[in-house]
Amino acid sequence: MADTEFDVVVIGGGPGGYVAAIRAAQLKLKVAVVESTHLGGICLNWGCIPTKALLRSSEINHLLHNLPEFGFSADNIRFDLAAIVKRSRGVSKQLASGVGHLLKKNKVPVFDGRGKLAGTAGDKRRVAVTKDGKDVATLTAKHVILATGARARVLPGLEPDGKLVWSYREAMVPDAMPRRLLVIGSGAIGIEFASFFRNMGAEVTVAEVVDRILPVEDEEIAAFAAKQFEKQGIRILTGAKIGTPEKKDGSVLVEIESGGKKEKLEFDRIISAVGIVGNVEDLGLDGTKVKVEKTHVLIDEFCRTGEPGVYAIGDLAGAPWLAHKASHEGVLCVEKIAGLDVHPIDWTNIPGCTYCRPQVASVGLTEAKAKATGHEVKVGRFPFIGNGKAIAMGEPEGMVKTVFDAKTGELLGAHMVGAEVTEMIQGYVIARTLETTETELMHSVFPHPTVSETMHESVLGAFNQAIHF
């Protein structure tokens, strides 16, 4: 019988849970992970990682269809969808097994099953682990971290059926390329699928309820991205009212009202990407002081719930629904448990990345949010068309926007659209974490020629000192 007494038990082995467990082990806390399905969670298995593999394939497809621009020619360009999907699944598998090795290396036992709070034993909490309805183990720990993540929100009438209506899960393993695809929802997940299928040649329509796509991004950046998508042939319907789909044999009829026009459109597949709901069920929260609001557990800045000794991190604990936010919360939560001097989390300093073509990345406040929160702002913008490297790479579509507090010079937010911006946003994240002002950013030497020079120029631009624009 395995040891069942711990300092910390983490329920959920996703990017929040397994990272929290490894950090706890580093801090010499006795820790266990309870995971029901797959280590690495949605991120590694059905989210961030496999979609990046798919998107890489679709970028290659895009390049192959634009070879003459770079001085190549090729005939008979085709793709093997099964091989593309297989590669994506392989990448997930490789990384998920890597998580298993990491936990083993840190001597963190993993209990296979679903964990739930099951009362207390003295000053400790019990966690009951069950598998297929059978009790597997009862663990005790002083601290329990809930990290069970979230799942796709299901709209009535748009329940994924695995055939005509897909959730992210089916969309990731298509057996055939749909000719006509409707993506409902234009957040990061919806837009990435739209971009993937469009670059693979599908006719893609994106329907969004609110009046613009990428609703959490800066308005100007979202508008820039929308223009690029439309140029690529993606149809975007904003302010859309979507009727109940009429399923036919192999296709779906959907009535969509947008811009005062009602249309009845036929699609081969629908992807529903309308947000997520937290996995708050069956965690044994009844009778505890853990508060749940709109399917998410309420926490304070150190991830503590209302119940002493119970913590929540990641998607379960609310927006932004991002793996790196979950990991960061996991580390911070455990360090606080271990008694380290921890700074509370700053949720405004979590970067967001969307890996469509062109990519979108941002951190901090949008211009509108900055103004709404009372800042007097200085805004800098720099287009990729003014950047040598971007033009040389054949990626001249993009821009960087920076928002500064006019009084203090604080970098309030940075917003980027264009090639490789997801790799560059960290520069601004570091700047914000170090509390730099425009002065230090201006004095930093950016290497030439790189796309990152646009980041420098945008800062200069906010103070009317841009050189190349």
Interface residues with other proteins (CB under 8 A) are 343, 407-410, 434-437, 439-440
Shortest Å distance, C-beta 303 to other proteins = 19
CA 391 to CA 383: how far, in whole Å? Answer: 11
Shortest Å distance, C-beta 439 to other proteins = 7
CA 156 to CA 335: how far, in whole Å? Answer: 42
Shortest Å distance, C-beta 59 to other proteins = 38
What is the 8-class DSSP label of residue 410? B
CA 351 to CA 460: how far, in whole Å? Answer: 22
Nearer to other proteins, 79 or 302 (CB): 302
Nearer to other proteins, 244 or 439 (CB): 439
Nearer to other proteins, 273 or 431 (CB): 431
**Which of 38, 448, 456, 468 is flagged as catalytic?**
448
Nearer to other proteins, 193 or 404 (CB): 404
Cα distances (angstroms) measured from residue 379 to each of 371, 404, 458, 460: 11, 6, 8, 10
Sheet order of strands, 411-418 included: 352-354, 359-364, 411-418, 399-405, 377-383
- Identify residue 142 by its one-letter amino acid code: K
Tell me, yes or no, if 38 is annotated catalytic.
no
CA 334 to CA 22: how far, in whole Å? Answer: 10
Tokens, residue 370: 């900055």
Shortest Å distance, C-beta 436 to other proteins = 5
* Helix or strand run (H / E) with residue 17: helix 17-26
Three-state DSSP class for residue 123: coil
Shortest Å distance, C-beta 345 to other proteins = 13
Nearer to other proteins, 219 or 440 (CB): 440
Nearer to other proteins, 104 or 343 (CB): 343
Shortest Å distance, C-beta 430 to other proteins = 12
CA 266 to CA 413: how far, in whole Å? Answer: 41
CA 250 to CA 261: how far, in whole Å? Answer: 26
Tokens, residue 332: 């911070």
Residues identified as active-site: 448
